[in-house]
């Protein structure tokens, strides 16, 4: 009995391997369309970090309110496409997470800032830009906090042959001119 079982197992193994190879060669299931492409979701290089000082002329370590960076960013797409026309809508859910470090000058145990989510076409033109306030609290003696904001949802009409690939979504800190110049100097080092 065990000899028959082992012969069957020897015969079955190559058959399963052949089936797996055939299936892996397929790009999709027949009759099931691949999902349309999503817009690129990314941080804007000069605006993915923030260094904020307390009000006043000082720019030493004792004047530092907080520093932060966008630590995680993701986008999820939901499509509503008319099969006859190929036109419709893509809803993109953007999730942003921040890692913030409390500076020596921070007495409030909070980091408050605005960040933006912008939608660009394939030519780099800004179609929409939304700004959102965010406040993170440092608990007890902690000097670092990582917090995620509520998801931001964008609805993008897909008409005239446009797909999700024809759009980009950028997220960044809403910086003052001084903060932007600081970042550009820091990134250039």
Token pair belonging to 106: 């921070």
pLDDT exceeds cutoff 70 at 153: yes
- The structure's pTM equals 0.79
- In this structure, of 7-16, 78-87, 140-149, the range with the lowest mean pLDDT score is 7-16
Instruction: Encode 129-141: b = buried (16+ Cβ within 10 Å), e = exposed.
Output: eeeeebebebeee
Integer Cα distance of 35 and 140 in angstroms: 46
Token pair belonging to 30: 């027949």
Position 5 scores a pLDDT of 35
pLDDT exceeds cutoff 90 at 31: no
DSSP-assigned states of every residue in the chain: -HHHHHHHHHHHHHHHHHHHHHHHH-SS-TT-PPPPPPPEEEE-GGGSEEEEEPSSS--SGGGEEEEEEEEEEEEEEEEEE-TTT--EEEEEEEEEEEEEEE-TT--SSEEEEEEEEEEEETT--EEEEEEEEEEEE--TT--EEEEEPPPEEEEEEE-TT--GGGEEEEEEE---HHHHHHHHHHHT-
Position 58 scores a pLDDT of 87
- What number is the average pLDDT over the span 86-110? 96
In terms of pLDDT, which residue wins out, 131 or 161?
131
In terms of pLDDT, which residue wins out, 11 or 84?
84
pLDDT exceeds cutoff 70 at 3: no
pLDDT exceeds cutoff 60 at 102: yes
The matching CATH number, chosen from 1.25.10, 2.60.40, 3.30.70, 2.40.10, for 40-187 is 2.60.40
CA angle 165, 169, 173 (to 5 degrees): 165
Residue written as token pair 């670092």: 144
| Beta strands 167-173; 126-137: pairing state | unpaired
Domain ranges within the chain, ordered by starting residue: 40-187
pLDDT, tens digit, 9 for 90 and up, residues 45-93? 999 999 999 999 888 999 999 999 999 999 999 999 988 988 999 999 9
pLDDT > 90 in the chain, percent? 69
Position 174 scores a pLDDT of 98
Nearest to 179 by CA among 115, 118, 117: 115
- What number is the average pLDDT over the span 96-120? 98
Q: pLDDT category, 139, cuts 50, 70, 90?
A: very high
């Amino acid at each position: 009995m065990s000899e028959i079982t082992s012969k069957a197992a020897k015969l079955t193994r190559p058959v399963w391997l052949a089936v797996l190879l055939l299936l892996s060669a397929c790009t999709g299931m027949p009759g099931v369309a691949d999902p349309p492409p999503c817009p690129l979701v990314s941080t804007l290089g000069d605006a993915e970090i923030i260094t904020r000082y307390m009000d006043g002329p000082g720019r030493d370590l004792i004047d530092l309110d907080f520093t932060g960076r966008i630590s995680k960013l993701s986008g999820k797409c939901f499509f509503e496409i008319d099969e006859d026309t190929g036109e419709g809508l893509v809803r993109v859910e953007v999730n942003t997470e921040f890692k913030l470090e409390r500076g020596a000058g921070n007495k409030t145990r909070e980091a408050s800032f605005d960040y933006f989510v912008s939608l660009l076409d394939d030519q780099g033109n800004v179609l929409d830009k939304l700004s959102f306030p965010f406040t993170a609290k440092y608990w007890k003696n902690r000097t670092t906090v990582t917090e995620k904001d509520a998801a931001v949802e964008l609805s993008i009409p897909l008409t005239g042959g446009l797909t999700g690939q024809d759009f980009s979504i950028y997220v960044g800190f809403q910086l003052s001119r001084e903060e932007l110049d600081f970042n550009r100097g820091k990134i250039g080092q």
